[in-house]
Each structure stands twice: as structure tokens, then as C-alpha cells.
Amino acid sequence: MKNSYVKYGIYSVVIWNIFIAILSYVSFVFYNESIYDEMFGSVFDCGMAIFFIVLWSIIWYFVGYYGRKRFLVSRTLFKDKHPCLNSRVIDKYYSLFYFSKASKLLLKVVLVSIPSYVLLHLERGFSSLDFIAISLLCMLSVFLFYAYKKLEKESIV
């Protein structure tokens, strides 16, 4: 059980670092500037970048670790609440319930990020890449809303 907590913590760290690498690459290719230059100003301090990566990796490790722990504890409570169902059915319905809640949370995050992205770019103006990013965020919010409603309807909770 504890081994799965560690495994999911490591998965979170790896996914976070891959996301940062992709974001840094895209920023460099499209804007010819590093994401770290934006965060740390014109004087790029390598120590600060390493500190940033290590700190956020530790944070994402604990997000994955405690997220998995919370998932398993909640699933156990769900099993106790519905003792008449077998384990396979419980796993199916609890997964639907859990992913419905996760979709709702991510929907809220994306809906906040759209106006934030627009406000961030008001001063310097919008490029075609900005409109593409806003469009992708809008499509993601529609998909998350659809997933949330569909999974909520299929769940027994």
C-alpha cells in the first residue's frame, strides 16, 4: 500500500518535469526566450532555476503521494458504505465518481486560467499563438464539463 503512494508521487514528479521541459522548449521555439528568463529576470541565476525545479518537484511528489493516499482511503470508505456490491463493481463506480470530481476541479482551474491569460496579455497585445492558446483552453473547458457531467451521471453516488 505505502509502495503505491511512493510510486504515484514519483509519477507526479516525472509528469511535472516533462511538462516544464515541454513548456520551456515551446517558449524558446516560439518566443526565442527561455521561460526562466521570464521568471528570474534578465540576470539568470542557475542556482535559482535549480532551486525552483527541486522545490516544485518536491511539492509535486507530495501532491501525488497524498493524492493516492486520499484516493485509497476514500475508496475504502466507499466500499464500507456499499457492502452489497462486489469489489469489481465498487472499483468501477468509485473510479467514475473520483474522475467526475477531478474533472470538476480541473474545469474550475481552466475557467479561472482563461481570463487570467487574457488579462496577462492585454498590455502587450495578442498574437495568433495567444488566440490558439485561448481556443485550446476553451475547448479543454468544454471537454472537462462534458466529462464531469457524463461521469457524474454514470456514478451511483
Domain ranges of the chain: 1-81, 86-157
pLDDT of residue 7: 92
pLDDT of residue 75: 87
**What integer best gives the mean pLDDT of the chain?**
83
122 confidence band (pLDDT: 50, 70, 90)? confident
- Name, in order, each residue with C-beta under 8 angstroms of 86's C-beta and a sequence gap of 6 or more: none
pLDDT of residue 59: 93
The CA distance from 79 to 92, in Å, is 11
- Mean pLDDT value across residues 123-138: 82
Let me know if 12 is exposed, middle or buried by CB neighbors in 10 A (0-12, 13-18, 19+): buried
pLDDT of residue 41: 56
pLDDT exceeds cutoff 80 at 81:
yes
**Residues of the chain with pLDDT > 70: what percent?**
87
- Mean pLDDT value across residues 25-34: 70
Q: Which three cell numbers stand for residue 23?
A: 513548456
Angle at CA of residue 117, ends 112 and 119, nearest 5°: 100
pLDDT exceeds cutoff 60 at 111:
yes
pLDDT exceeds cutoff 80 at 114:
yes
pLDDT of residue 154: 79
- Mean pLDDT value across residues 64-81: 89
SS3 44: coil
